Amino acid sequence: MNPGAGDAERGQSRHSPVASRLEPHDEIDPSTLKRGLRTLTVEVVFSSSCDAILIGTIMTAFALYLGARPAQVGILTAVAFWAQLLQGPGVLLIERLRARKRIAVVAILVSAIAPIALVALAFADASRPARFGLVGAVALYCGASAFAGCAWSAWTRDLVPDEARNRFTARRTRLALLAGVIVSLLAAGVLDMAARGRETGAMVYAGLFALAFAARMLSAATLARAPEPAMPPPARPARLHELLREPLRDPRFRPLIRFTASWQFAVNLAQPFFTVFLLKQLGFGVTFVMLLTIVSQLANIWSLKRWGPLSDRYGAKSVLNAAAPTYVVCIAAMIGASQLGATWVGAAYLILLHVLMGVAGAGVTLGSGVVALGLSPAGAAAPYLSLNALISSFAGGLAPVLGGLGAEFFEARRLGLVVEWAGPVVRGDLVGVHLRGWDFYFLFAALIGLYALHRLTLVPAEGELRGGQMMQQILAQARARFSRPPSVGGADPPEEPAEELLAAEMAGPPRSVPR
């Protein structure tokens, strides 16, 4: 064997444009960092557009189009969660190859096979093989995305400085939600056409899945342009169980794992079935369901611009303390929609409820993500973030499976609570609440959510505000916002972009960032 063969091959790899673009950087200068952060910001538009089609309301509607029952919808949701368990092997792959960008880009390319398969399934009959194919396509997409997400999280943990992570995360999340709104608007305009016939429905869904494929390919191409800081050499060969055991030994990280698991179980006992509840139990149309999705996403976008500075000033845990209880209340309040039915009052109630859920959901997403990053050590974040994702994925996947299996049981049950007034002149019911079908799941989810809120109180954080204190700060800022004189043009000063903040941090003198 020629000893110089390996060096020659490595030299060829270094001179390959594609291979060199995927290589880590030993040093990243401020201008490269600025371009990289801008690239990561653009990339989220493509990945979120694909996710909006392949995960969520559109995919649930497609499953129902193929004749899926509630139990099969639950399994479909569980597959999306349980595929994230592959983040465990993903951590091992990262530690072995130590090339996080390469893993992320290749995994995204593999996941792009799924929308191609779904284009073919759009022309299939509503049969069991088609539904099995749907589950397989979703499993492939989510499984490959798990490897990509694991690598991306560890990569950006070392790329984005701590001082601006909150703003950077909020900006990416806002753009992701904006992309989801645009896709939802497109879907809302065409999904009702799918009910006109199988041929029209096949064309509608095939077009959406082709759009998802194009977005996924653009995601891979854009992500390949961002820089990756090189990982430090490992002290010794890594083993998966040793890597994942380290976060469990960390007394600061264990409470977050317990909260995340209980929270994911509570939310996903109810949330995956919102679409089924609105379409089947209440009788609303697909267009109105998509409208609710858009309303929630718009509320997300609007509120993230408010949650980000609040997180910077008071801490991400304080944001969680305010947003999580609000979301639990919203889940329980879904029971009120079944009392009002498919009326204009019920529609207005659902719109208001989805606005609140969008605002609270944005706070939970931002707060929990930043808290997890903050509790993970620099340079070794992958095992911490992946274990947190593994446990939350298992709990989040178990909930819809149990929910789907029990759907037919609760569909045949009713529970009524009536407050009656009887007098010499007036006699009748004052208040009546009747639970049926999915109402039981909303009640159970809210009760489990209360336990999750208890686990949240045990997550360590410095200088946190309790939920009531945080709400007081929010209301105080809102009063100050409306009482101060308007700025020129009636607009608020623009928020400083995350990439500009980072460039100033790298090139200029130190500046304080409020916590």
- Cβ burial of 213 (10 Å; 0-12, 13-18, 19+) is buried
Domain ranges of the chain: 29-230+239-414+438-484
pLDDT average, residue stretch 281-303: 86
Of the candidate ranges 176-180, 292-296, 460-464, 499-503, the one whose mean pLDDT is the lowest: 499-503
Contact residues for 312 (Cβ-Cβ < 8 A; gap 6+) = 166, 167, 513, 514, 515
Asked if the model's pLDDT at residue 166 lies above 50, the reply is: yes
Cα(154)–Cα(63) distance, integer angstroms: 33
Cα(20)–Cα(13) distance, integer angstroms: 7
Residue 15: predicted pLDDT: 46
Residue 432: predicted pLDDT: 66
Highest average pLDDT, of 54-58, 300-304, 454-458, comes from 454-458
Residue 290: predicted pLDDT: 85
pTM to 2 decimals?
0.70
User: pLDDT per residue over 44-80, tens digit each?
Assistant: 999 999 998 998 788 888 998 898 888 888 888 888 8
Asked if the model's pLDDT at residue 10 lies above 60, the reply is: no
Express as a percent the part of the chain with pLDDT over 70: 82
Residue 37: predicted pLDDT: 84
- CATH number given to 29-230+239-414+438-484: 1.20.1250.20
User: pLDDT per residue over 391-429, tens digit each?
Assistant: 888 898 899 888 888 877 887 777 877 777 766 766 666
Question: Model confidence at 315, in pLDDT bands (50, 70, 90)?
Answer: confident
Phi (first) and psi of residue 430, to 5 degrees: -85, -50
Residue 4: predicted pLDDT: 46
Look-up: residue for tokens 């605002």?
359
Sign (positive or negative) of CA dihedral 445, 446, 451, 456: positive
Residue 331: predicted pLDDT: 94
Of the candidate ranges 382-386, 488-492, 507-511, the one whose mean pLDDT is the lowest: 507-511
Per the CB < 8 A criterion, the answer to whether 212 and 49 are in contact is: yes
User: pLDDT per residue over 354-380, tens digit each?
Assistant: 999 999 998 898 888 888 888 888 767
Asked if the model's pLDDT at residue 234 lies above 60, the reply is: yes
Q: 228-265 burial, b for 16+ CB within 10 Å, e for fewer?
A: bbebeeeeeebebeebbeebeebeebbbbbbbbbbbbb
Of the candidates 101, 53, 388, the one whose C-alpha atom is nearest the C-alpha of residue 231 is 101
Cα(471)–Cα(437) distance, integer angstroms: 34
Higher pLDDT, 162 or 286: 286
User: pLDDT per residue over 82-121, tens digit each?
Assistant: 887 887 788 888 888 888 899 999 999 999 999 999 999 9
Residue 304: predicted pLDDT: 75
Higher pLDDT, 407 or 515: 407
Residue 429: predicted pLDDT: 62
Cα(386)–Cα(333) distance, integer angstroms: 33
Residue 351: predicted pLDDT: 95
Of the candidates 374, 376, 398, the one whose C-alpha atom is nearest the C-alpha of residue 387 is 376
Residue 491: predicted pLDDT: 45
Highest average pLDDT, of 54-58, 106-110, 240-244, 276-280, comes from 106-110
Beta strands in 187-297 (DSSP E): none
User: pLDDT per residue over 118-154, tens digit each?
Assistant: 999 999 988 889 999 999 999 999 999 989 988 888 8
Residue 148: predicted pLDDT: 92
User: pLDDT per residue over 458-474, tens digit each?
Assistant: 888 776 777 666 776 66
Of the candidate ranges 128-137, 169-178, 247-256, 418-427, the one whose mean pLDDT is the lowest: 418-427
Asked if the model's pLDDT at residue 275 lies above 70, the reply is: yes
Question: Model confidence at 450, in pLDDT bands (50, 70, 90)?
Answer: very high
